[in-house]
A and B are shown apart, each in its own frame.
Chain A
Amino acid sequence: GAGVSQTPSNKVTEKGKYVELRCDPISGHTALYWYRQSLGQGPEFLIYFQGTGAADDSGLPNDRFFAVRPEGSVSTLKIQRTERGDSAVYLCASSLRTARDSPLHFGNGTRLTVT
């Protein structure tokens, strides 16, 4: 079946602009995660959704970052007033349930470049 889909695969934007990154999880997966990965680093947790609600948004770096999942499926990560330091690969992952032994299924990521 289809895996986690992230669009766009690449996004180049100018400093100060607004961007939206989309994640389409595996059908039926209730848990959805956003991570950010900088070059040479491991994935850094941003936010976790259980259904429509953000169960843990402690990883969002500041109030320029916001994420939604209005119908409990597709999620959008929104970044306002982008800065060069926001440049990274943004990874989305989903899992079948919130049980702690459920592995995460990752998309291929969106590479964001802020010029």
Chain B
Amino acid sequence: AQSVAQPEDQVNVAEGNPLTVKCTYSVSGNPYLFWYVQYPNRGLQFLLKYITGDNLVKGSYGFEAEFNKSQTSFHLKKPSALVSDSALYFCAVRETSGGYQKVTFGTGTKLQVIP
């Protein structure tokens, strides 16, 4: 069964500093990996995805993520954090084997950017 782990419940970072939100995954085949963001009282919004190709993928709002197959990780990064980036971030994985379409989410990491 596929799974996703987000080891940090909360990440605090000063405005202007780089941020990293960690994610590791487990699948039996090749993974399709996603990051979503959730603002208070809102639904999840898609940020970026890794399918194949370059290990560094770029997404919305200046976010990027680095895929590392040997470490089974897909960490979310941003060079310079904004206060408006404060939100809940979810990593998700969709397995590519067979016709299985279920998308599995991690437990989420709360990002707090301090002015």
Contact A56/B46 with A42-B90, A100-B94, A101-B51 known, Cβ cut-off 8 Å:
no
Nearest CB in chain B: distance from A5 CB, A: 10
Instruction: Check A101–B107 contact: CB distance below 8 A.
Output: no
List the A residue with the shortest CB-CB distance to B6: A42
How many cross-chain pairs have Cβ atoms below 8 Å apart between A and B? 63
- A31 beta carbon closer than 8 Å to chain B: yes
Q: How far is the CA of A100 from the CA of B108 in the complex (A)?
A: 22
Residues of A within 8 A of B102 (CB): 45, 48, 56, 58-59
Alpha-carbon gap, A4 to B46, bound state (A): 13
Shortest B105–chain A CB gap in Å is 4
CB distance from B89 to the nearest CB of A (A): 10
- The smallest C-beta distance from B112 to any residue of chain A, in angstroms, reads 15
Known: A101-B49, A107-B43. A33 touches B103 (CB 8 A): yes
Binding site for A on B (CB under 8 A): 4, 6, 32, 34, 36, 41-46, 49, 51, 90, 94, 96, 100-108
Pairs across A and B, CB under 8 Å, 14 listed: A4-B43, A35-B105, A42-B4, A42-B108, A45-B103, A48-B102, A50-B101, A100-B94, A103-B46, A103-B49, A106-B44, A108-B41, A108-B42, A109-B43
